[in-house]
Amino acid sequence: MRNLIQTADLTVGEIDEILKTAEDIIRQPGAYADRCRGMKLATLFFEPSTRTRLSFEAAMYELGGQVLGFSSATASSTVKGESVPDTIRVVSCYADIVAMRHPQAGAPMIALTKSLVPIINAGDGGHYHPTQTLTDLLTIHREKGRLDHLTVGFCGDLKYGRTVHSLLEALRRYEGNKFVLICPESLNLPAYVMEELEEHEYVCCSSLEEAMPMLDILYMTRVQKERFKSEADYDAVKDLYILDPDRMKLGKKDLCVLHPLPRVNEISVAVDDDPRACYFKQVENGKYVRMALILFLLARRRENDSRRFAKEDLIYHKVCTKENCITSSTQEVQHIFKKVGKNRCRCIYCEAEQPLFEQ
C-alpha cells in the first residue's frame, strides 16, 4: 500500500505523473466525475485548516466519492484520550483513504503502523506538508511551464514552515534550481532540511529587497505563531518581511509570487491585483492536484510502500524527548532513530537529532 507522508515518498516521475493527471482533470473534469463512485475519504483534522481540508473534500466529491471525518480534535474521541494509532485503526474500517493533519510531527508516520488504508499527510506540526507541495508544483508548472532551472526565494518562517520543508525536498530534485533563503537567523531551516540542500546551489539573505531582482519564484510564508514558545519570541520576528507594491517593483516582470496561505500581514492586500500574485490560483490548483493524488494512491493500494529505512541504520535504544514529537503523546510507542552521518541519529517521527554515542 502506498502512502504520502513526505514528498520523498514520490519519485520525480511520480510527481510529474500526478501533475499531468491534475492538468488533465482541469481540461476535462467530466471524465473524472465517477472515478471514485462508492469510495470514501476520511478527513481527520486534529489541527485547524480551511484550504487543505475543504480542497480534499471538494476533490473527493468531484471524483464521485463521499467524505466523512472531523475538523478538530475536540470533535473526536481524542479528548477522551484515544491515541492516533487507535483512531486510525478505527477509521480505516470505515474509509478507503485517509487525509490527516495533526499538530505533532510524525503523527501520520505513526498512523501507518495501524492503518488498513492509504494515509495522506495533510500537515504534521512544523515538519512536512507534502500535498501543499503538489499544489505549489502544479502552480509553478502552470505559470512557468517548467519545474527546473528556476531561482526560488523562500521568505519568512523557514524554521516552522512545513510547506517550505516539503517544497524544497521536491524542487531540489529538479535540475538547475537555485534557492535564496530570506529569513532571520532564528527562523532558518531546521538541520534535517538544511542538510539536504548542501549539495545544491543556495544563498542566505536577510533582505527581501536584495533578493527580489534575482527571483523567478517568491514563496512567502506566515510566521507560525502557534509554534513559538513565547509571545515575545514571536513579536521579535513577526513583522520582518512584508511584501508590498514598492517591493514588488523590484521583482522581475514574470515573477511568480506564491504563498500557501493563510496570510496575516506578510503580503499586503494591495499586491493581490498584481498579475504576478499567484496565491489564489494556488488555492484552486490544490483541489485538482488532490483529486489526482487520491486517484494515484487508490490505484496503488496493492503496491508496497516506497518508504524504506535500511534495517542496519535503525536504532531502538534511544528515546526522543522532543515535546512536539508524536512519541511524546502515544502510549507504548517504539522509539526509533535512524543513523545520519558517522556520529548522529534522528528520530524517524520528528527528525530531532541526537549524538549516536553519548560523550
Interface residue with ligand CP among 50, 77, 113, 206 (CB under 6 A) is 50
| Binders of ligand CP in range 78-137 (CB under 6 A) | 123, 132
Closer CB to ligand CP, 85 or 103, in the complex: 103
Give the nearest distance from C-beta 123 to ligand CP in angstroms. 6
Give the nearest distance from C-beta 293 to ligand CP in angstroms. 14
Residue 260 contacts ligand CP per CB under 6 A: yes
Task: Please list the alpha-helical segments (H only) found in the chain.
Answer: 12-27, 51-62, 84-91, 107-111, 130-144, 162-171, 191-197, 208-211, 231-237, 245-248, 279-299
Interface residue with ligand CP among 8, 24, 51, 58 (CB under 6 A) is 51
Closer CB to ligand CP, 105 or 212, in the complex: 105
Three cell numbers at 332? Answer: 507504548
SS3 state of residue 187: helix
Residue 72 contacts ligand CP per CB under 6 A: no
260-264 LR contacts (CB < 8 Å, sep 24+): 260/51, 260/129, 260/132, 260/135, 260/136, 260/163, 260/221, 261/51, 262/50, 262/222, 263/220, 263/222, 264/222, 264/223, 264/238
Please say whether the beta carbons of 290 and 32 come within 8 A: no
Give catalytic residue positions.
Answer: 51-52, 80, 101, 129
Which segment (8-16, 43-51, 303-311, 319-327) binds ligand CP by CB under 6 A? 43-51
d(CA 296, CA 277): 30
Residue type at 217? I
Closer CB to ligand CP, 132 or 177, in the complex: 132
Residue 65 contacts ligand CP per CB under 6 A: no
Closer CB to ligand CP, 226 or 313, in the complex: 226
Q: Give the residue from 135, 137, 163, 133 showing the smallest Cα distance to 150.
A: 137
| Binders of ligand CP in range 292-351 (CB under 6 A) | none
Q: How many residues bind ligand CP (CB under 6 A)?
A: 9
Closer CB to ligand CP, 162 or 322, in the complex: 162
Which residues would be at the binding site for ligand CP (CB under 6 A)? 49-52, 123, 132, 260-262
